[in-house]
Amino acid sequence: MDGSIPAEIEHLVGLEYIGLGNNSLTGPFPASFAALGSLEFIDFRYNKLSGSIPAYLGDFSQLAVLGLSQNQLTGELPTSLGSLRLRTLAIDDNLLEGEMGAVAFMKDLEYLYAGSNNFRGPIDNGLLADLAHLIEVDLSNNSFVADTIPPALFMHPRLQVLDLHDNQINGTFPSFIPNNHAIKFLSLRGNSVSSSIPSLIGNLQALTHLDLESNSLTGTFPGSDLAPLTKLKYLFLGKNPMKRGPIPNELQDLKALKELSLHSLSLSGTIPVWLENFSGLKLLDLRVNSLDGPVPINFANLPELEYLLLNDNLLDGGVPASLEDHSQLKVVSLHHNTIYGEATGVCDSKSSFDLLTTDCESIECPCCPTCCRDEHCFEEDLGVALENGAADWEKTFIRSDYGFSPSLLNEF
């Protein structure tokens, strides 16, 4: 459906539920919409609505679900919404700005999606600390700041998802993290968190996704502290100025891993052979480190592997023969090492590569891109190949459908 919301909707004064998501509705909320004070459920997600969120929605005392994701809404979040007993607030992917003080008063809130806007202000104990019913929180791609990541965020009894990636958080982890069996997804990617990873990170025992990539994390690689996180499927720690050292052997306990990215971490020493025990591994990213020696992994033990990124290290020895019969590989980057030999068998294998990069002086590779000898060899090719495979990555969480289910209303 396209067009605007008709003014005649004001005659549906007994309306409790309206779901018009996934259409092409345009224009602002009509003033006549204010007559629908009995509404409990509004879902206008994935349209093209413009204008501001009307303050009169704060008078809809029964409203539990407000879904306005992915529109073209502007302005600030009305303070009047703080009086509502909302269970779900979805305002992500709009053009909203300002602070979100009204959220602090939504004591019944369970699902908060406000990512990809222009919101600002501190993430502190005044914003989310008292919202004890939170289950999923996405404040990513905004301009929130924090001097210390609030400890209260790790004390919520039901919070499973905390996504704060790509904000302006330049503080530190809290010194104390309590035992927590609820939180599964934690992303602080693309901030400037400047402390070391706390020794008590292992208390977040339910974690399946931990993404701390592209921060300013310091200290040594906390292998023993991460070892208790045996449910981890996704671990991204790359692009942090941590101290030089080897890949900790304690990580071998994380056998549920599907994606492991440790690139640009100043890693040294050899690639541990125990990585081949991660039979479900889909991505192994060890590029731009100082790893040396031959590649010891028998890739036949990693049947799910699709992305193998080893470029820009000090690796030597021959091209691993076990790559030849690997049928799932999409991207393999071996360039800027001293690996030698032939990749002809790899090119002739069953693999349908999106990209295979090697150093042309030392490896015979008939299916590799044109030889490139400068410092940024294959950088663009690799970036494009990884971007084309973006749908394969698990950087985001899958939202709970229950937050937009009419059955949620029956709990009142």
pLDDT of residue 301: 94
pLDDT at 412 > cutoff 90: no
Q: Where are the domains of the chain?
A: 244-387
Most confident of 132-136, 145-149, 347-351: 132-136
DSSP letter for 257, please: -
Give pLDDT, residue 148.
86
| Confidence tier at 150 by pLDDT (50, 70, 90) | confident
Question: Can you give the pLDDT at residue 370?
Answer: 67
Edge to edge, what strands does the sheet with 48-52 contain?
2-4, 24-27, 48-52, 72-76, 95-98, 118-122, 143-145
Would you state the pLDDT for residue 56? 96
Q: Which of 337, 338, 373, 379 is nearest to 355 (CA)?
A: 379
For residue 38, is pLDDT > 90? yes
Structure tokens at 374: 């400068």
pLDDT higher than 90, residue 264: yes
Residue-level pLDDT at 352 = 66
Q: Which of 101, 46, 102, 93 lies closest to 74, judged by CA?
A: 93
| Residue recorded with tokens 């990215």 | 261
Tokens of 109: 């809130």
pLDDT surpasses 70 at 231: yes
Whether the predicted pLDDT of 360 surpasses 90: no
In sequence order, the 6+-apart residues with CB closer than 8 A to the CB of 321 are 345
Instruction: Give CATH superfamily name and number for 244-387.
Output: Ribonuclease Inhibitor (3.80.10.10)
pTM here is 0.94
Q: By mean pLDDT, which of 20-29, 89-98, 221-230, 374-383 is the weakest? A: 374-383
Q: In Å, what is the CA distance from 278 to each residue of 173, 230, 244, 305, 412? A: 29, 12, 24, 10, 45
Region 63-73 average pLDDT: 97
Percent of the chain with pLDDT over 70: 98
The residue with greater pLDDT, 407 or 50, is 50
Sheet holding 338-342, edge to edge: 268-270, 290-293, 314-318, 338-342, 363-364
Q: Per-residue pLDDT for 410 more than 80?
A: no
pLDDT > 80? residue 395:
no
- pLDDT value for 125: 76
Is the pLDDT at 274 greater than 70? The verdict is yes
Q: Is the pLDDT of residue 72 over 80?
A: yes
pLDDT 10s digits, 282-339: 999 999 999 999 999 999 999 999 999 999 999 999 999 888 878 788 999 999 999 9
With a cut of 60, say whether residue 368 has pLDDT above it.
yes
pLDDT digit string, tens, across residues 180-223: 999 999 999 999 999 899 999 999 999 999 999 999 999 999 89
Counts of helices then strands in the chain (DSSP H, E):
3, 27
Tens digit of each residue's pLDDT (9 = 90 or more) over 87-139: 999 999 999 999 999 999 999 999 999 999 999 999 877 889 899 999 999 99
pLDDT > 90 fraction of the chain, expressed in percent and rounded? 74
167-202 b/e (C-beta count within 10 Å ≥ 16 → b): bebebbbbeebeebebbbbbbbbbbebbbbbbebbb
Give CA separation, 70 vs 28, 45, 258, in Å.
14, 6, 30
